[in-house]
């Protein structure tokens, strides 16, 4: 994917849908289950990833001409770890209650395959603006996945959204238990596969008739 | 020396707080290498070894370098550096010393750097203020827990190849649902030991 010719908007859309980190590439799965038991946690996780991914892509793209390819892996790791420390400390200072629940997973953004992969396959070969667009797209894709999963889990598991009760009655407690996270992601993945197959079918049908 | 405490830590880390099923870490590798029993076993061995050594290394660095210099806020950067350096050197040494072992396990070694459990263990050790032996015990327990999870999953997925699954659920989605069922079973261990 050297020197991309796609427009910036296409790059963002690419990250959001066709190469969605969670549902399509199936990498960086740990937080998709660990922090999605409430919408708020999912939101903060998503925002942190958008920030880290965009800034890492920006930085790597800026210094791409000075990196010796042999030592690129440690350099990428340091860049990522720097931004993660930054967000880790700001969150510890400004969003204490959320940090107590998801702090460990924020620190573990360092080990995200998706962030490293974008630096490796995209930012190191492209100019600054497309790299930022790519980082934004990937980050937003991850953010959307977090929001969708945590929306369903909190609604079904607690009958609430963002901490406010919405539905009365007995919630499905299992959805906020660890096991429920696996079920939610599995079912959503299956649903998106089904949707994909349906859309492809319709497209094929249109092409043959029209 | 309180062996009882150490034993409790190992059991707690491997069964009650199993990394895969209750803390959801290392999922990428968990779903990636659990297709075949052989790869699952290879990964488990490499993983446990790296886990124990890296938790020992990072404990020493944390206690004797970072705390005296008052730079504990850099722990994310330092730990990932230690792990990456250790994995890289283990890779090189193994290639020279024992090519046959390298041929079998080298590929897993490369994958391990991107595993969040390996980084999570030193972070938790330093956060909880474990002693040296406690850190090692926590590392061993986490490694065993991960090995257990991988072996269970691999044995189920080998059978799954023959099952008739609805098309959209083939591959990853059904694996997630199975992992959910195993996680449900693992909740049965909660309350076994209170630390």
| DSSP class per residue in B35-70 | TSHHHHHHHHHHHHHHHHHHHHHHHHHIIIIIHHHT
Secondary structure (3-state) at B155:
helix
Looking at residue B114, its pLDDT comes to 65
Which runs of consecutive H residues, i.e. helices, occur in chain A?
Answer: 8-13, 30-34, 39-62, 72-94, 96-107, 113-121, 128-158, 178-209
* Among A residues 48-107, those touching chain B with beta carbons less than 8 Å apart: 73-74, 77-78, 81-82, 84-85, 88-89, 104, 107
The model's confidence at residue A193, banded by pLDDT at 50, 70 and 90, is confident
User: In this structure, are residues A174 and A180 in contact, taking their beta carbons and an 8 Å threshold?
Assistant: yes
pLDDT confidence bin for A120, thresholds 50/70/90: confident
pLDDT class for A5, splitting at 50, 70, 90? low
Q: Which residue of A has its CA nearest to B82?
A: A74
Q: How many residues does chain B have?
A: 195
Please check the confidence at residue A35 and state whether its pLDDT lies above 60.
Answer: yes
| DSSP state, residue A4 | -
Q: What is the structure's pLDDT at A1?
A: 43
Contacts of A144 (CB under 8 A, 6+ apart): A16, A20, A46
pLDDT (tens digit, 0 to 9) for every residue of chain B, 195 residues total? 578 888 888 888 888 888 888 777 877 778 877 778 888 888 888 888 888 888 898 899 988 888 888 888 888 888 888 888 888 888 888 888 878 877 777 767 766 766 778 888 888 888 888 888 889 888 899 989 989 988 998 888 888 888 888 888 887 888 888 888 888 888 888 777 665
ipTM surpasses cut 0.85: no
pLDDT band at A56 (very low <50, low <70, confident <90, very high): very high
| Rounded Cα gap, residues A148 and A43, in angstroms | 10
If one compares A88 and B191, the residue with the highest pLDDT of the two is: A88
Q: Among B84, B115, B177, select the one facing A77 at the smallest CB separation.
A: B84
List the single residue in B with minimal CA-CA distance to A85.
Answer: B76
- Residues shown for chain A: 210
Q: Residue A29: its pLDDT value, please?
A: 75
Q: Residue A18's pLDDT is what?
A: 75
Mean of per-residue pLDDT scores for chain A: 82
Give yes or no for residue A210 having a pLDDT over 60.
no
CB burial of A42-52 (b: ≥16 within 10 Å; e: otherwise) equals: bbbbbebbbbb
CB contact under 8 A, A26 and B123: no
Q: What is the pLDDT of residue A9?
A: 80
- Enumerate the residues of chain B whose CB falls inside 8 A of the CB of residue A85: 73-74, 76-77
**Distance from chain centroid for Cα B144:** 8
- What's the rounded Cα separation, in Å, for the pair B52 and B117? 12
Q: Which residue has the tokens 């474990």?
A: B130
Among B160, B149, B167, which residue's Cα sits nearest to residue B41?
Answer: B149
Q: Give the pair of three-digit tokens for residue B106.
A: 């080298």
Cα–Cα dist B181/A9, whole Å? 40
Q: What percent of chain A has pLDDT over 70?
A: 95
Given an 8 Å threshold on Cβ–Cβ distance, is A186 in contact with B176?
Answer: yes
pTM of the model: 0.81
pLDDT reported for residue A199:
85
What is the residue extent of each domain of chain B?
3-189
pLDDT value at residue A4: 61
């Amino acid at each position: 994917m050297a020197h991309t010719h796609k427009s910036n908007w296409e790059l963002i859309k690419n990250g959001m849908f066709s190469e969605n980190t969670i549902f399509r590439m199936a990498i960086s799965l740990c937080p998709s289950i660990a922090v999605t038991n409430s919408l708020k946690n999912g939101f903060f996780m998503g925002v942190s990833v958008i920030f880290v991914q965009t800034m890492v892509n920006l930085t790597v793209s800026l210094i791409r001409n000075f990196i010796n390819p042999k030592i690129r892996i440690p350099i990428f790791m340091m860049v990522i770890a720097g931004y993660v420390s930054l967000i880790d400390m700001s969150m510890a200072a400004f969003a204490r209650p959320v940090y107590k629940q998801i702090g460990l997973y924020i620190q573990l953004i360092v080990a995200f395959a998706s962030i490293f992969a974008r630096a490796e396959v995209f930012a190191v070969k492209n100019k600054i603006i497309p790299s930022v667009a790519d980082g934004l797209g990937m980050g937003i894709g991850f953010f959307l996945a977090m929001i969708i999963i945590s929306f369903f889990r909190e609604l079904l598991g607690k009958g609430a959204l963002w901490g406010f009760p919405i539905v009365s009655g007995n919630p499905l407690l299992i959805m906020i238990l660890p096991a429920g996270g696996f079920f939610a992601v599995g079912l959503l993945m299956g649903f998106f596969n089904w949707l994909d197959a349906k859309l492809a079918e319709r497209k094929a049908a249109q092409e043959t008739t029209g | 020396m309180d062996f009882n405490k150490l034993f409790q830590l190992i059991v707690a880390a491997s069964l009650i707080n199993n990394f895969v099923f209750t803390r959801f870490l290392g999922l990428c590798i968990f779903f990636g290498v659990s297709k075949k029993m052989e790869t699952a076993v290879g990964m488990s061995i490499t993983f446990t070894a790296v886990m124990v050594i890296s938790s020992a290394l990072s404990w020493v660095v944390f206690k004797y370098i970072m705390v005296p210099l008052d730079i504990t806020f850099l722990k994310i950067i330092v730990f990932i550096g230690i792990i990456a350096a250790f994995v890289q050197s283990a890779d090189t040494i193994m290639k020279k010393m024992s090519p046959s072992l390298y041929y079998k396990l080298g590929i897993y070694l490369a994958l391990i750097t991107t595993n969040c459990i390996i980084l999570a263990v030193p972070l938790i050790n330093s956060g909880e203020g474990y002693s040296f032996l406690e850190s090692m015990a926590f590392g061993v327990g986490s490694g065993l827990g991960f090995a257990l999870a991988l072996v269970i999953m691999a044995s189920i997925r080998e059978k799954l190849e023959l099952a008739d699954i609805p098309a959209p659920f083939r591959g990853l989605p059904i694996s997630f649902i199975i992992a959910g069922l195993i996680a449900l079973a693992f909740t049965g261990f909660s309350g076994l030991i209170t630390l």
